Amino acid sequence: MTPMNTHIQRGERFRALHTGASTFVMPNAWDPGSACILAASGFQCLATTSAGIAYSLGQPDYEGYVSRSQMMECIQRIASAVDVPVSADLEAGFGAAPQDVAETIRLAIQAGVVGGNIEDLSGDPQTPLFDIGLAAERIRAARESADHSGVPFTLTARTDCYLTGVPSPFAEAVRRLNRFREMGADCLFVPGIKDAETIAALVREVEGPISVVMGLTGSAFTVSQLGGLGVKRISIGGSLARSALGLVRRAAQEMLQHGSFSFAEQQIPDAELCSFFASLHPSQG
């Protein structure tokens, strides 16, 4: 099978998850190793995490610290390490103009992913969200760029109404997401909602599959509970990467303050990890 055919098949598999009957979990990886372990655990798809990638590069998860070219290199390494479909966290598209977003989508597909999210954060503290007209045009440009590729690409539109403190965040989120759906978004995402009633209302009011993020403090829903509310997709953002770094910090404190090494009890044995990663590269054995 040619690489293009493989890419198309992964895109079709990923798109089908969003139209199927079941709620699914899409965990976020930050490097090839974490991606391989998650894929081998049985998840049907993965996403990247811009936060986790930034941390792995020793950078904060702030706009402008990780360049588009750096992000694409990391995304490509993750996508090429696994056989499952991968969706990319593309932040705000690495540029305000619709053509910037279109180019980011083109590069992401070239890097091997079959989905990606574009958010409406402007980077301006005074007006934290792009004007809805511009935000919609950015989603339209992303859709057109994806369709031009020939790869079935699942476009997720994200609005940060709840994270930026805009007035009437629910009404504004519904307005924006339905507009983004009209512009060609396949999936709609609103981070920051923490109560069941609002999630259920969002599912009712928005025309399209809803994605939520778990792993944040104050969000204690299970997959079955979210499925019961009508949620289609669940991601975990950078929470797994932050948890891994939390272990590093706790281990550092233990070694420095107590001179002990009990953190090692949580490790996967070297032989097991070497055997696992070797099995992914049989031609090199």
Residue 66 is encoded by which pair of tokens? Answer: 């990780």
pLDDT value at residue 2: 81
What does pLDDT average to in each consecutive run of 10 residues of the chain (285 residues)? Answer: 90 97 97 98 98 98 94 98 98 98 98 98 94 98 98 98 94 98 98 94 97 83 96 97 97 98 96 96 71
Q: Which of 218, 156, 214 is nearest to 183 (CA)?
A: 156
pLDDT value at residue 281: 85
pLDDT value at residue 217: 65
Rounded to whole angstroms, how far apart are CA atoms 146 and 152? 8
Rounded to whole angstroms, how far apart are CA atoms 28 and 214? 11
Rounded to whole angstroms, how far apart are CA atoms 36 and 79? 10
pLDDT value at residue 1: 73
Rounded to whole angstroms, how far apart are CA atoms 11 and 150? 10
pLDDT value at residue 264: 96
pLDDT value at residue 20: 93
Helices (H), the chain: 3-19, 32-40, 50-56, 68-81, 98-110, 132-149, 161-164, 169-182, 196-205, 223-228, 239-258, 270-279
